[in-house]
Amino acid sequence: MVPRLFLVLVVFHLGITAYGKQTMKATLKSLHAISDIRYRYATTLVSLKYYNTYNFAVTADLHVNMPRHSFISNFSMEIDGNVTVGEVKQKSEAKRIYDHAIKTGQSAGYVAVEHRFTNVFDISVNVEPQKYIVYNLTYQELLTRENNKYRHVIHLSNGGIIDDFLIEVFIKEPQDIINVSVPEIKDDKARDFLETNGLEYVSVDYVNSKEVYIKYNPNRKQQEEISKENGIVGLFKVAYDVNRANNSNFIYAVDGYFVHFFTADFLKPLRKHIIFILDVSGSMSGTKILQLKEAMENILDQLDPELDKFIIGKFSSDVVWMENNFLPARKEYIKRAKTYIRNISASGGTNIDAALLESIVKHKSTDERVLSTKIKNIIIFLTDGHPTVGVSSTEMIKKNVREANEEISLFTLGFGEDYDHKFLREIAAENGGFTRKIYVDSDSSLQIENLYKEISNILLKDITFVYLDGAVNTSTSTFSNYFKGSELVVSGILRDKTQLTMHLNVNKTDNTGRSADTLKVGINLSGIGDDFTLFDDLPENPELTSIQSLSKITEKTYAYLTLKQLLKEERTHHVKSEILDLALKYNFVTPLTAMVVTKSKIKEKRFDENDNDSSGVRRSKYINTLAIAFET
């Protein structure tokens, strides 16, 4: 069994109390977010400056949401001209350094990873009277392509109107950049990038066909137009694509590392056999079951009568099927399915193990030959809770499904706040799918429909890239599915840094059946080492330019993809060693590493326990302390 890793949350005594509760905080004076996107690889630096306007110490609280697939690569803070930088260490060493710092009277923070939650970075530091503190957090990710767009997101939560608010995004791609959009800022629960309304006061400048500079610098009045009380809260989103000129394969290389981008949007969709297995336990009663019914009726209307067959199952303590066999998506069967959906009700427990295993058996029992043909077998599984009936161990459920499944792709939807996100994410990833969260207080039915749209256009399955000459130590080169409008990415190391072409086999199943294509693809070496050239009147970004040197992009992409794959595998001694080597070399915070931040105590005035400020608020003693938590 893989050992569970827990979030280490360091909580110190906070400086100001009023009847046992802290009431005052440092004021946010500026927020700068700079993103440097080079060849789909994005580095984002979030910099926030706070000022303590009081005559006693208060805390400056930083809360940053990051993309789920990102890694923290750097953190620093500056207080009164003194800069403290975090270091990534093996967890045991980081904990030892942290414990020693605490024992010797230093301030210290410990940034670790906990699997269950989303990626949130929190820090709270005491700031002396009339002093500034600046936080700098850097994280990195490889952008993915969905629905014909690369998506880059910066989460904003200002907590009020601020004087100095700046977002800059620099994009450089090897192909011409097209279809750039910056939609209006909305609630961070919304995932859809299809908004038609653009963001006001944002500028999008094409430096040339392959470089774009985006700037958003709203003044106070412009911020108040979004929210007078809370300022700008939500997602700043940039979407774009590149012109492939009918070229499905693009490979570039620098310093012996290569990256291969593959698309195949010209193909026709595969036929699909789809199982919808729906949680109708007691916790789904009320609004959830109504939204589920609405979503399912709309999804049924989207099924293709020429490509799709389907069956609906519902589960609570037991599993019940609408029909024994798959039904063609013809009008009469769609009508029958809608009647079935309208009549479902919520009651009972949650037997997840039985629901998944019976779904796999349904696929197998229809026709064993289906598993090796051009038909794609899919399970769409929706639940809002934890297993309460039958097998209750999520590790055992994952094991049972792995052993029973062959090539069926499992897509999981978590409804609400109470389900086990870690479990749904892992079991989907282990079975060729992915997971999505459905927010109950948003338009849940639309979210479920969008998830179906995302997975309905499967063009390829069982794809494997075999590099025939000169490529070693590649990242993942086998993929369960290729969705229309997406992209597959493989990175690796070349034996010959100067080679100009690459031979590879692409083994895949498309709508005509299984095939193997042997390709000769040119390797793009030109212009990779050039800096991001901006107009004379556009700002330079020395911080990100040094981080994002193009000569390191391919190497970082290789490390990123390899690390993401290793983190999905069973934690054998060898796998752990590889994770540690990559994480420490590239300064990534992972489940096996942590970032430790230490700061020696500075001389400062200490208040007596009984001191009161002019407002009568009782203040306790304080020291310059900090608390950090990171979740992913």
Task: Tell me, yes or no, whether 194 and 63 share the same domain.
Answer: yes
- Any bridge partners for residue 360, and if so which? none
Q: Are 172 and 276 within one domain?
A: no
pLDDT at residue 7, rounded to an integer: 31
Provide the number of structural domains found in the chain.
Answer: 3
Closest listed residue to residue 488, CA positions, set 431, 561, 548: 561
- Residues 335 and 321 grouped into a single domain: yes
Residue 328 maps to which CATH number? 3.40.50.410
pLDDT of residue 632: 41
Q: Which residue has the tokens 């030959």?
A: 369
Angular region, 31: left φ>0, alpha ψ -120 to 50, beta rest: beta
Number of H helices, E strands in the chain: 11, 33
Same domain for 474 and 418, yes or no, is no
Comparing 363 with 542, the larger pLDDT belongs to: 363
Do 327 and 364 share a domain, yes or no? yes
Does residue 167 share a domain with residue 89? yes
What percentage of the chain exceeds 70 in pLDDT?
80
Q: In this structure, are 41 and 169 located in the same domain? A: yes
Q: Is residue 346 part of a domain?
A: yes
Predicted pLDDT at 327 = 94
| 276 in any annotated domain | yes
Residues 42 and 120 in one domain: yes
When pLDDT is averaged across residues 316-327 and rounded to a whole number, the result is 93
Q: What percent of the chain has pLDDT over 90?
A: 35
CATH number for the domain harbouring residue 150: 2.60.40
| Residue 342 within a domain | yes
Would you say residue 602 has pLDDT above 90?
A: no
Range 350-370 average pLDDT: 83
**Does 413 have pLDDT greater than 80?**
yes
Reported pTM: 0.81
396-401: long-range contacts at Cβ-Cβ below 8 A with a sequence spacing of 24 or more?
396/353, 397/352, 397/353, 397/356, 397/423, 397/427, 398/423, 398/426, 398/427, 398/430, 400/353, 400/356, 400/357, 401/356, 401/357, 401/360, 401/427, 401/430, 401/431
Residue 402 lies in a domain: yes
Residue 620 in this model has a pLDDT that exceeds 60: no
- 42 and 54 in a single domain? The answer is yes
Q: Does 308 map to a domain?
A: yes
Residue at which a domain ends, from 429, 456, 483: 456
Phi and psi angles of residue 428, each rounded to the nearest 5 degrees, phi first: -70, -45
More confident residue, 598 or 245: 245
Residue 241: pLDDT band (50, 70, 90) is very high
Using DSSP's 3-state secondary structure scheme, residue 299 falls into helix
Name the pairing type of β-strands 327-328 and 308-315: antiparallel
Residues 588 and 552 in one domain: no
Considering only residues 193 and 411, tell me which one the structure prediction assigns the higher pLDDT: 411
Most confident of 296-300, 331-335, 448-452, 473-477: 331-335
Q: Could you tell me if residue 12 is inside a domain?
A: no
Judge whether residue 471 has pLDDT over 80: no
Residue 173 CB neighbours (<10 A): 21
Residue 378 lies in a domain: yes
| 63-95 residue pLDDT tens | 788 887 888 888 888 887 888 887 778 877 877
Same domain, 213 and 92: yes
Range of the domain at 555: 247-268+462-528+547-569
> Which pLDDT score, from 0 to 100, does residue 230 have?
76
User: Smallest Cα–Cα separation from 155: which of 200, 197, 120, 109?
Assistant: 120
In a domain, 86, yes or no: yes
Q: Is the pLDDT of residue 585 over 90?
A: no
**Same domain (yes/no): 154, 73:** yes
* pLDDT of 375 strictly over 80: yes
Between 476 and 17, whose confidence is greater? 476
